[in-house]
Structure 1
Amino acid sequence: MDNALREAGERRIDWATRAMPVLTAIGARFAADRPLEGLRIAACLHVTAETAVLMGALRAGGAEIALAASNPLSTQDDVAEALGEYGIAVHARAGVDRDTYYRHIHRALDIAPEIVLDDGCDLVNILHTERTELLDGVAGGCEETTTGIIRLRQMAAEKALRFPMVAVNDTRTKRMFDNRYGTGQSTLDGIMRATNTLLAGKTVVVAGFGYCGRGVAERARGLGARVVVTEIDPVKALDASLQGYEVRPMAGAAPVGDVFVTVTGNRDVIRGEHLAAMKDGAILANAGHFDVEIDVRALEELAQAVHHGVRPNTDEYVLADGRRLLLLAEGRLVNLTAAEGHPAAVMDMSFSAQALAVAWLARERPRLEAGVYDVPEEVDVEVARLKLAATGIEVDELTGEQERYLHSWRAGS
């Protein structure tokens, strides 16, 4: 064990814990009630200080846990080292290659899990394709990303999904707090750390106007950027337009953008024809879960030279005519590679919903069939109430008369 690395990880985890009062309170409750006693949990998540607080809460509830990374560039090695003190088996290391990344997921699955936690659906995918001998023992799991939910719903539609999965990503608190405010701030944090660019006066092209894209657009505009949105959904495109953003197809945005951020959950959002039209010095960043939104292979084919590491997490691709395109974080999640991901206060709510969803799964698993489930409304509301209480904010309560009015169809004007 590397004691210096472990101590650095413990300090990082302690710092995150200060901003995570809701999850800390849930962990204390779990320690008293032990709702996860004896459960084996395999998790594929970003190995960060905030994740460590979640792992501690689940461990306090009685679970046995094996953790793999959901992105090889987001692992904080000091946190991974410190997690051993929680009695958690960690299979993750920063910067590993693709084969090692998948080998780590297989090692986490060797625990023969009863509950799985996934961030992007890679672990669930491997269970259904390569580790099918473990499927009968899995009672259910949770998925935390938009990308993962897309994959899970397709599996369910094809009747391929073999156990219940809870769409933690789709709670009201997660979409509002994590996707919008967390992604918005942390994505721009990553871009600015990697490039030291001034966003004021720049044209920032945001591909995708879901909750995450909306957050990126809002934060970029707040820093003085002109924001152009690209979309495939007419309703979201209309929403962006009515909020004052210029809406263009990517072909029209490519020549005018200074900074490009993909936030769609789909592949090849920025393709070769778009890259060929971009101006000198254009910055390419991805905030979607997988590294497929920017066609990096097309960028490599266009480039006459590649200068890796012109700044930390920044590679320069020189085109035939001398134009330079700057790719951040190898096209992977820029907020977790070039920065530290969402602030701990954001992950406090997301991981609190995750922890309560695990407890709900453990309790309800005998009654659940295979499929994708929403987080129960009472869990979402409890997380919001706990967060408000932790920040000293009070809200109104319905009077008896108001309750009766809301539940009566006979009352008129």
Structure 2
Amino acid sequence: MIAGKVAVVAGYGDVGKGCVQALRGFGARVIVTEIDPINALQAAMEGYEVTTMDEACKEGNIFVTTTGCEDIILGQHFENMKDDAIVCNIGHFDCEIDMSWLTKNMMMMMMVSGVLQVLAQIELWVNTSKYPVGVYFLPKKLDEQVAAAHLDKLGVKLTKLTDKQAKYLGLPNEGPFKPDHYRY
């Protein structure tokens, strides 16, 4: 459930505009960060709050970077985010999110407050020798762990397989729940 959450979208270009409309459509209160005064004016005229990431990081539950620029969400922003914030990037390189800070601080963050759960990105970042440059499908189990990490904050209650159901389906109780060839 996104309804009632605060979504922060960095950038109000073509991708950002589509993202904020989708988030608003799902019931989120959307905050936009923007460097271009024309785009900022457009966002404000369409009813979105426009502010800086330094301010928005304290309010958001969901963060989406859409800028194509580097250093959009930095360590100082992660430190000020609410517990269990969701951080993602749409369609550009990981330079928008300070991955080196995350790599150094992830374990501390998870132990102290569980601010983020970006398992797939950390796997790719930390184990670069396992993943030379290319396009990869991550193991289903890892995809499921990433998805599961976000469910509580979104108010989702997940049904658990009973032992009998798992046996009937021929699946482990804790997944993976779909074969590797299955695409969502």
TM-score, normalised to structure 1, is 0.29
1:226 equivalent to 2:29? Answer: yes
Q: CA separation in 1, counterparts of 2:36 and 2:11?
A: 9
Give the alignment partner of residue 272 of structure 1, picking from 68, 72, 75: 75
Which whole-Å CA distance do the structure 2 matches of 1:255 and 1:213 have between them? Answer: 20
Deviation at 1:304, TM superposition (A): 3.1
Q: Is the 8 A contact 1:284 1:328 kept in 2?
A: no
Q: Which has the larger radius of gyration?
A: 1
Change in Cα spacing, 1:328 to 1:304, as seen in structure 2 (3 Å) is closer
| CA 1:227–1:322: 2 relative to 1, 3 Å | same
Contact 2:81 2:115 in 1 (8 A): no
Q: Which letter does structure 1 place at the counterpart of 2:105?
A: L
- Percent identity at matched positions? 46
Equivalent residues of 1:260, 1:284 under 8 A apart:
yes
Aligned to 1:244: 47
User: Of Structure 1 and Structure 2, which has the larger fraction of its residues in helix?
Assistant: 1
Considering fraction of residues, name the structure with more strand: 1
| Paired residue total | 126
Question: Is the 1:254–1:275 contact (alpha carbons within 8 Å) kept by the matching residues of 2?
Answer: yes
Q: Tell me how far apart the structure 2 counterparts of residues 223 and 261 of structure 1 sit (CA, whole Å).
A: 15
Deviations 1:338-392 (A, max 9, x none): 7xxxxxxxxxxxxxxxxxxxxxxxxxxxxxxxxxxxxxxxxxxxxxxxxxxxxxx
CA deviation map 1:298-328 (0-9, x unaligned): 12222335xxxxxxxxxxx515x33421227
Alpha-carbon RMSD: 2.2
Structure 2 residue runs of 5 or longer lacking an equivalent are 125-136, 144-184
Amino acid aligned to 1:304: M
- Whether the aligned pair in 2 keeps the contact of 1:204 and 1:228 (CA below 8 Å) is yes
CA distance in 2, matches of 1:328, 1:211: 28
Residue aligning to 1:318: 110
Q: Distance in 2 between matches of 1:270 and 1:201?
A: 23
Q: Does 1:327 align with 2:130?
A: no
Match in the other structure for 2:107 = 304
**1:100-137, CA deviations, whole angstroms, 9 ceiling, x for partnerless residues?**
xxxxxxxxxxxxxxxxxxxxxxxxxxxxxxxxxxxxxx
Q: TM-score, normalised on structure 2?
A: 0.63
- The alignment status of 1:217 with 2:20, answered yes or no, reads yes
Question: SS at the partner of 1:251?
Answer: helix
Q: Which whole-Å deviations, capped at 9, do the CAs of 1:273-320 have from their partners, x for residues lacking one?
A: 101100100001100321211111112222335xxxxxxxxxxx515x
Equivalent residues in 2 for 1:327-406 (5 A)? Answer: 327=118, 329-330=120-121
